[in-house]
Structure 1
Amino acid sequence: METLSPTPRTTVTRGRERVVTDRAALHALLADGLVAHLGVDVGDHPLVLPMAYGVDLDGPDAEGTLYLHGSVAAGWLRAAVGSTVCVTLTELDGLVLARSGFHHSMNYRCAVVVGRLRAVDDPEERSRALDLVVDQMVPGRAATLRPASRKELAATAVLAVPLREASLKARAGGPVDDEADVAAGAWAGHVPVRRVLDAPVHAADAHDRVPDDVLRRCQ
């Protein structure tokens, strides 16, 4: 089993009992997710942005590469390229309802990735990265689309963060209450949370049936 090796920047200092060291668990979370949050320093203030992403475990970085994209006109992007950034990804799995407010919690899986933000200039890597972002939403969809135009590619910046420095924490199960609160007899438990994709809705000008890749995604 390949493990996550903590660095000074990814060593968990609180809630160590929730640390997950299996790198496969990190890969599973990245495969499940849809939105990552990128934290950057834009000079006079920090900025955290929700972004679509893609993952290449066989890319140029030994432990895998996380790809993001944005507009070449974005000021934050120009300021962030080449700097150290933090990317987080969280999946909410449940609401933990304890017998006291202090012990309320959530069941979750959360990854934190720290690394230097690299602008992807190689045309082949850029194309693959953009396909991976699309396929993160609907696996296999990129292959069904027309190629990106030169204008679209010129307007899009592709960014990469290596997955070398990453940590993962997770919580599961019910509340952990004080004995006195348990003895008092109040209800406690947890409410599982899951993501549900509804049936696809046709665009107003759609002239074809829903493709199989989209139908599979909604199952």
Structure 2
Amino acid sequence: MVDVTAPPLSPTDRSTVRRHRDRQRADRAELHAVLDEALVAHVGRVVDGEPVVLPTLHARVGETLYLHGSSGAASLRGDEPVCVTVTIIDGLVYARRWFTQSANYRSAVVRGHARRVTDRDEALAAMRALVRQVAPGQEDHADPPSRKEMAATSIVALDLTEASVKARTGPPGDGDAVAAGDDRWAGVVGLATRVTGVTTCPALPEGTPVPAHVPTG
């Protein structure tokens, strides 16, 4: 849920967009929208002096971003600086010049000091949000994790204090540079994530109905 009372984004030196500054967004609601729609986040950190970027599940609860990992995964052990990025591609921009070929997108970058979630109630609430992020309704349909499963899971929290949003929309940017009479096609090919089908688990009896909360297309 977007908090309309939340203050606007206040870019720091690290979160200020340097290239195409006109694409930076200041509305915190746009940050929330990108984080809430995306299904995968990439977490960057330094491990033994080397950069490591790994994909993971994420979920936003208010002004906190939760990240999912294994208790044995060094990439998500908390108590360290991290950089989290999320990108949604809305379209491919076909231009008449290679240099102006582009994409319409919405992206968010969150930087800060991650903390390991140790409180059981917070960890369960975060797990519930993570399940809801990728499969809305499944948080009430499926069983919650056991203590053993929770012990094998790492939940890391990161506040949204230092975050930036950048987006591109619209047609190719080479329109003004096109020579008279040049009628080569240019435009935008829209992209979206969609359901391609639902397959029932083979262990279930034939004819088991698909729950209402499962999207079927």
Match runs of 1:60-99 below 5 Å? 64-78=63-77, 81-99=78-96
**Aligned partners of 1:174 and 1:190 also within 8 Å:** yes
**Aligned partners of 1:99 and 1:182 also within 8 Å:** no
Distance (whole Å) between structure 2 residues aligned to residue 182 and residue 138 of structure 1: 49
TM-score normalised to the size of structure 2? 0.91
Identity of aligned residues (%): 45
Question: Hey, what does 1:56 align to over in structure 2?
Answer: 61
Distance (whole Å) between structure 2 residues aligned to residue 32 and residue 182 of structure 1: 40
Give the counterpart of 1:43 among 48, 71, 89: 48
CA deviation profile, 1:20-58 (whole Å, cap 9, x unmatched): 11111111111111000000111231111111111101x
Distance (whole Å) between structure 2 residues aligned to residue 13 and residue 166 of structure 1: 14
Paired letter, 1:98: A
Q: Does 1:193 find its partner at 2:191?
A: yes
Question: Hey, what does 1:61 align to over in structure 2?
Answer: none
Deviation at 1:141, TM superposition (A): 1.3
Give the counterpart of 2:135 among 138, 155, 158: 138
Deviation at 1:178, TM superposition (A): 5.6
Question: Hey, what does 1:107 align to over in structure 2?
Answer: 104
Q: Does 1:15 find its partner at 2:13?
A: no
Distance (whole Å) between structure 2 residues aligned to residue 14 and residue 4 of structure 1: 18
Q: RMSD across aligned C-alpha pairs, in angstroms? A: 1.5
Partner-residue secondary structure (3-state), 2:65: strand
Paired letter, 2:34: L
Give the counterpart of 2:171 among 158, 171, 174: 174
Question: Hey, what does 1:209 align to over in structure 2?
Answer: 209
Distance 1:186 1:85, change over 3 A: same
Deviation at 1:15, TM superposition (A): 0.8
Deviation at 1:181, TM superposition (A): 2.5
Deviation at 1:203, TM superposition (A): 1.2
Paired letter, 2:141: T
Partner-residue secondary structure (3-state), 1:212: coil
Partner-residue secondary structure (3-state), 1:117: strand
Structure 2: gaps spanning 5 or more residues: none
**Aligned partners of 2:93 and 2:103 also within 8 Å:** yes
Deviation at 1:213, TM superposition (A): 1.0
Distance (whole Å) between structure 2 residues aligned to residue 180 and residue 76 of structure 1: 46
Partner-residue secondary structure (3-state), 2:214: helix
CA deviation profile, 1:178-200 (whole Å, cap 9, x unmatched): 63424233221111111111231
**Aligned partners of 2:54 and 2:75 also within 8 Å:** no
Deviation at 1:76, TM superposition (A): 3.1
Distance (whole Å) between structure 2 residues aligned to residue 141 and residue 82 of structure 1: 30
Give the counterpart of 1:29 among 19, 30, 34: 34
Structure 1: gaps spanning 5 or more residues: 58-63
Paired letter, 1:176: G
TM-score normalised to the size of structure 1? 0.90
Partner-residue secondary structure (3-state), 2:36: helix
Paired letter, 1:12: V
* Count of matched residue positions in the alignment of Structure 1 and Structure 2: 209
